[in-house]
Amino acid sequence: MRNESVGRLSYSSHYNRVTNSRERDFASKRSGHLDNCLVIDENRLKTILHRLLRDEDRERQASLIRQLRVIFEHSENYKVIQSNREEIISTFEDFIQLGLNSELKQEFISAVGTLGAILGLKAKSLLDWEFAVISMSKSDDIRILILKTVLEMLKIDAEKRSLAEHVPFVMARLQSALEVADVPELLIAIVNVIFEISNGYPTVFSKHFSDTVDILIGWHIDATQQQSVIEFTSNALIGFQQFWISDINFTATLLGQFLEDMESYAEELAQSKLNSSGSVESQPCSPEENVAKIKSLIRVLITVLKSIEDLIVPDESGPISWGFVVQMLKSFLKYIKITMEYHYYCDLMTSANECLDLLLKLAQLHSKDALDELMSFIDLLQEKNSSLLSESHLVSILRMMIRFVKTVGTYLPVKFVTKLFSPTSLSRQLRLSPSSKIQKLLIELYHIVLAVKNVQIVEEFYKCIMVDIVDAHNALLKSSEENSVRFYYSEVSLLLSICALVEIGNIKHSLIRMFALKPSFFDLMIIQLKPTSPELAKRFPALQSAILYTLYSHCQRHSHFVNSSALVNPNAASGSPVSTSGNTSPIMTDVPPTSPSSGNLEKVIKLLIDLLDGPHNSYDSRLLAAKWAVEILENVQRHLVRLISNTCFEDLLGA
């Protein structure tokens, strides 16, 4: 038994050794690692090169290329490689004419890239050959393949930087290739190498930055190019971010040129509209061509602005001053309005809104110096019919308006708020939009407006939205046609308004603390909206829940008004407000009552009793009421002696 066991073990071990040996041999052949072949002599190298051209089997060719790459990687072979580099290059030149498949191309790129990195200072002849192919080959496929080998070479050498001496030569030849590139695929291959140099050798690239940008912008504004090419050039230009900043004079000049060109095309567009005969023969371009060019200029303007955003602060002593940026803002608005008067192109205006967003961000508070122009532009947008505009365009409008409010801050005109709620305004129409993205942005816009530290703005907003809430609430309760458009509009309008007022209900804004809104948010929710109304509970349970959760959140934020309540603190009884500034606003008073929330806890307790006892209230509403009541009990623990004898509190415990 023992001998048999040993025999089996021996057989098993032998089988495993054979199997593992075969697996290792197969793996080494696939990877190009052949035992005892890492260090080679001249004859062995020439044999591999010869077989590479004569063998027609793609798998064996791929294996031979991998062997060459492994050979190139080992420093022991440097002398052999160096002395045979001309033959290696000659072999590669013949090899690329064979029509390579994707696997062979990738292996070739890796091998040539490794060779160049290993040669380092001695790589000049290899680079000469590569750029000779790039400039002279009639095959774009071969030119792109060689450009990828140059890129691979630079990537492999990124850490050692042994090719540093040759990089200026490489960059100069790439610049020449870029100037004559006539197909997008070739452009992309060249720019990928340039981008690698810009990251690894910024000093070298900086001398070619402006020339490179000029060429890329030419591709960027070419309306005949596919969107993928335009996006590539845009991303490439943005990727040169540090150079836009370091060569700020060039950047400023370019921005000015874009606006000058836009002015020229806009004026031609305006002139074509005035031409009563309808003939445009006297114009250099047709109106459609001018619109296409304006659109392209807006796109490239967006690209440059994205390249410098967050990295530049306008400086009065520099080429990009606050005055320069404000003038850009004004000029841009002027030319876009001319285009709008000719025709309202949604795609162009979507780009215009994105560009305006970036200009506002750059101008910051100085945007107020273009306030009249901005308001005029926004008023034109507010006149549009939302049903005729795409979602992406509507999103761009809302984002731009949000940026506008953030930027101008306390200089925001009251009429902007009034227009926001105007029955015919675009922003009012968007309340009915089925898009969750638009609804989210609309709420964000409301909240941004409420965050403005300006009494008149908050007052106007609250007045407008309060009217909306009351009107929508009354319309719902009086409506007998639950499937009507008016019914749907009223419900959506009320829900949106309640969401908007969360800013007032939950955020203790410094301005709102200083001035008491009339009616208060609490009174508006609990008294005017009557959340325990049987009619509301029966017909609109979802709306009732929304009102209750909003009110609950507000109360929770203020610890359920326990500390200020007259139930636990008789001295908190409210007095009469006396104004010290003469403010007689019906919405705000600048001196709140001594204890403006002294009765809130009692009102909440009565609300909870009605919710728990009411036969028409939904399960969710009752559950919220129970949770709410428990939180109040936890907050009044130290006041139980005083509350236990209160009838209202006893009724809550009974409910």
pLDDT of 213 reads 97
**Residue range 238-294, pLDDT digits in tens:** 999 999 999 999 999 999 999 999 999 999 988 877 764 455 455 677 888 899 999
* Average pLDDT of span 440-455: 91
**Residue range 414-440, pLDDT digits in tens:** 999 999 999 899 999 998 898 999 999
Identity of residue 64: L
**Residue range 290-349, pLDDT digits in tens:** 999 999 999 999 999 999 988 888 988 889 999 999 999 999 999 999 999 888 999 999
* Average pLDDT of span 87-109: 93
pLDDT of 607 reads 92
578 exposure class (CB count in 10 Å sphere: 0-12, 13-18, 19+): exposed
* E runs forming strands in 465-558: 516-517
Q: In which band, very low, low, confident or very high, does the pLDDT at 593 lie, cut at 50, 70 and 90?
A: very low
**Residue range 490-533, pLDDT digits in tens:** 888 888 888 887 766 665 554 554 456 778 888 888 988 889 98
Pairwise CA distance, residues 646 & 557, whole Å:
25
> For 474-483, 537-546, 551-560, which range has the lowest pLDDT when averaged over its residues?
474-483
pLDDT of 35 reads 44
- Residue 25 predicted with pLDDT over 70: no
Q: In which band, very low, low, confident or very high, does the pLDDT at 7 lie, cut at 50, 70 and 90?
A: very low
pLDDT of 1 reads 36
Compare 333 and 33 and report the one with higher pLDDT. 333
pLDDT of 515 reads 53
> For 248-257, 553-562, 639-648, which range has the lowest pLDDT when averaged over its residues?
639-648
Highest mean pLDDT among 79-83, 188-192, 306-310, 386-390: 188-192
- Residue 369 predicted with pLDDT over 80: yes
Find, among 201, 211, 200, 198, the residue nearest to 243 by Cα.
Answer: 198
- Residue 202 predicted with pLDDT over 90: yes
pLDDT of 283 reads 63
- Residue 227 predicted with pLDDT over 70: yes
516 bridge partner residues? 589
Residue with tokens 């002593």: 317
Q: Are 547 and 521 in contact (CB under 8 A)?
A: no
Residue burial 494-514, b: 16+ Cβ < 10 Å; e: rest: bbbbbbbbbbbbeeebebbee
> For 17-31, 116-130, 527-541, 601-615, which range has the lowest pLDDT when averaged over its residues?
17-31
- Residue 218 predicted with pLDDT over 60: yes
- Residue 647 predicted with pLDDT over 70: yes
* Average pLDDT of span 390-399: 97
pLDDT of 11 reads 32
* Average pLDDT of span 213-223: 95
- Residue 576 predicted with pLDDT over 90: no
Compare 385 and 4 and report the one with higher pLDDT. 385
pLDDT of 420 reads 94
Residue 636's H or E segment, with its range, is none
Q: In which band, very low, low, confident or very high, does the pLDDT at 176 lie, cut at 50, 70 and 90?
A: very high
- Residue 580 predicted with pLDDT over 90: no
Q: What is the mean pLDDT of the chain?
A: 85
**pLDDT > 70 in the chain, percent:** 85
- Residue 13 predicted with pLDDT over 80: no
Q: Is the dihedral of CA 398, 403, 407, 409 positive or negative?
A: positive
Compare 6 and 563 and report the one with higher pLDDT. 563
**Residue range 107-124, pLDDT digits in tens:** 999 999 999 999 999 999
Compare 579 and 11 and report the one with higher pLDDT. 579
The full DSSP string for 567-578 is TT-GGG------
* Average pLDDT of span 547-573: 83
Q: Long-range contacts for 486-494 (Cβ within 8 Å, ≥24 apart)?
A: 488/432, 489/431, 489/432, 491/540, 491/543, 492/431, 492/432, 493/431, 493/468, 494/468, 494/469, 494/543
Q: In which band, very low, low, confident or very high, does the pLDDT at 582 lie, cut at 50, 70 and 90?
A: very low
pLDDT of 514 reads 47
CA distances from 545 to 204, 297, 335, 599 (A): 65, 50, 49, 23
pLDDT of 370 reads 97
